[in-house]
Amino acid sequence: MYPTITLRKGKDQSLRRYHPWVYSGAIARTDDGIEEGDIVRIVTAEGELLGVGHYQIGSIAVRMLSFSDTVIDDDYWKRRLGQAIAMRRAIGVEREDNNMYRLVHGEGDWLPGLVIDIYGNSAVMQAHSVGMHRQRKEIAHALQELMPSLSSIYYKSDTTLPYKANLSDESGYLFGKSADVIAIENGLRFNIDWLKGQKTGFFLDQRENRALVEQYAAGRRVLNMFCYTGGFSVYALRGGATAVHSVDSSERAIELTDSNVALNFPQCDRHKSFAADAFKFLNSIGESEPANGQQCSMLDAQCSMANDYDLIILDPPAFAKHRDALHNALKGYTRLNAKAMQKIKSGGILFTFSCSQAVSKEQFRLAVFTAAAQSHRNVKVLHQLHQPADHPVNIYHPEGEYLKGLVLYVED
């Protein structure tokens, strides 16, 4: 039997509503000898068992794996992973023209602390909790049995595990090995580099929003700010944009973007990329006239011929990773959006996103509203965007709704 954690009196309400976390403040007693990452039983002050979960030191003390008296064994992992696979089949995310998607989205798949992304025949797994880390091999084993076509499972948790748990340098293949993977999203091809890339190598959560950019791209001059691997840029090119400029402060991101553009549109003369800071680049838009026939080169943002835009995408990194950074994050979103709204051409379309879990949909909207007011433009909301269906939100865990976007029509 697993060791027991006893809740304080009256602190059982959120678990009875299937919220998957137990905060440390709700705990009255823990059995002796419990270690970080252990599977524990959760009981009420009256001794009623509410479920089992992974114990961790920190404000979220337990991440629930089950709301009954469940043994966490090979069958358990197969059952949960099997449910995740069935759901992806049900929503049709795995197709000939789309072989990359999120298979396990933490709490959204009742597997808090675990992320698994699929790129063709390769899986990339990330643990966000010590418990999932400790069980990575069992999980990989179950996944391999359920998806026999997989040729490799790469484990990448050097940046996602709690620093204090002292578990770094754990990344590596749990099974097989793959290199130079090209995966397909909505018929477009992308190089995936999970070894050096951010997250598992690609931002799968923008797939549907990229498709919407494609719909609006025809005949427009597009600025893809914070482009990373150039996902939005490649869709905009397919959608018939007359020019696409990709900007990221990271040189490596620019290399990735260029390689993905070349992979889909060899010899494309509609695309240029710039390794530049977002604010510097936005500030420079339309500032001076280019010399006749001047070619735009890196950071040659004075080239106004090349930098007036009627479709801008702003997909910055999470400005607030924690609640205490919220105030500054909201100011950051306002500043960024105000700048883009000042610069976009009349009749332009602005796609603006926040992927900070700590920022709510309402707070993000308020930040963008403030930006509109500061820029004195007429702004209409065309769409409200979110994460795609392969990043499901557990209805009992609203915090899982992290990606928010607005599509705005900006007039005079």
Sites of contact with ligand SAH (CB under 6 A):
203, 206, 226-229, 231-232, 248-250, 253, 277-278, 315-317
Let me know: does 315 contact 229? Beta carbons within 8 Å.
Answer: no
CA-nearest of 223, 238, 200, 53 to 120 is: 200
Q: From residue 158, how far is each of 111, 198, 232, 322, 383 by CA, in Å?
A: 19, 11, 27, 19, 36
Which of 227, 296, 303, 355 is an active site residue? Answer: 355
Q: How far is the CB of 29 from ligand SAH (least distance, A)?
A: 43
Which residue's CB is nearer to ligand SAH, number 93 or number 227?
227
Residue 355's contacts (CB-CB under 8 Å, 6 or more residues apart) are 205, 315, 317, 318, 402, 403, 404
- Give me the residues paired with residue 95 across strands: 98
> What is the chain's alpha carbon radius of gyration, rounded to the nearest angstrom?
23
Q: How far is the CB of 316 from ligand SAH (least distance, A)?
A: 6
Which residue's CB is nearer to ligand SAH, number 19 or number 199?
199
Which residue's CB is nearer to ligand SAH, number 278 or number 393?
278
Dihedral in degrees, nearest 10, Cα atoms 275, 281, 286, 289: -40
Which residue's CB is nearer to ligand SAH, number 223 or number 379?
223
CA-nearest of 83, 93, 6 to 45 is: 6
Which residue's CB is nearer to ligand SAH, number 55 or number 319?
319
What contacts 24+ positions apart, CB below 8 Å, involve 55-58?
A: 55/5, 55/30, 55/131, 56/129, 56/130, 56/131, 56/162, 57/162, 57/164, 57/165, 58/24, 58/162
CA atoms within 13 A on the CB side of 296: 24
Q: How far is the CB of 266 from ligand SAH (least distance, A)?
A: 21
Tokens of 165: 């748990």
| 355 carries an active-site annotation | yes
Which residue's CB is nearer to ligand SAH, number 119 or number 228?
228
Let me know: does 143 contact 122? Beta carbons within 8 Å.
Answer: no
Q: From residue 137, how far is each of 145, 175, 360 by CA, in Å?
A: 12, 9, 35
Which residue's CB is nearer to ligand SAH, number 216 or number 226?
226
Q: How far is the CB of 65 from ligand SAH (least distance, A)?
A: 30
Q: From residue 29, how far is each of 23, 39, 44, 165, 182 by CA, in Å?
A: 13, 15, 10, 22, 50
Q: How far is the CB of 279 from ligand SAH (least distance, A)?
A: 7
- Measured on CA atoms in the order 314, 317, 323, 327, is the torsion positive or negative? negative
Q: How far is the CB of 142 from ligand SAH (least distance, A)?
A: 29
- Give me the residues paired with residue 170 across strands: none
Tokens of 16: 């009875």
Q: Which residue has the tokens 């890339």?
A: 197
Q: How far is the CB of 124 from ligand SAH (least distance, A)?
A: 15
Catalytic residue IDs: 355
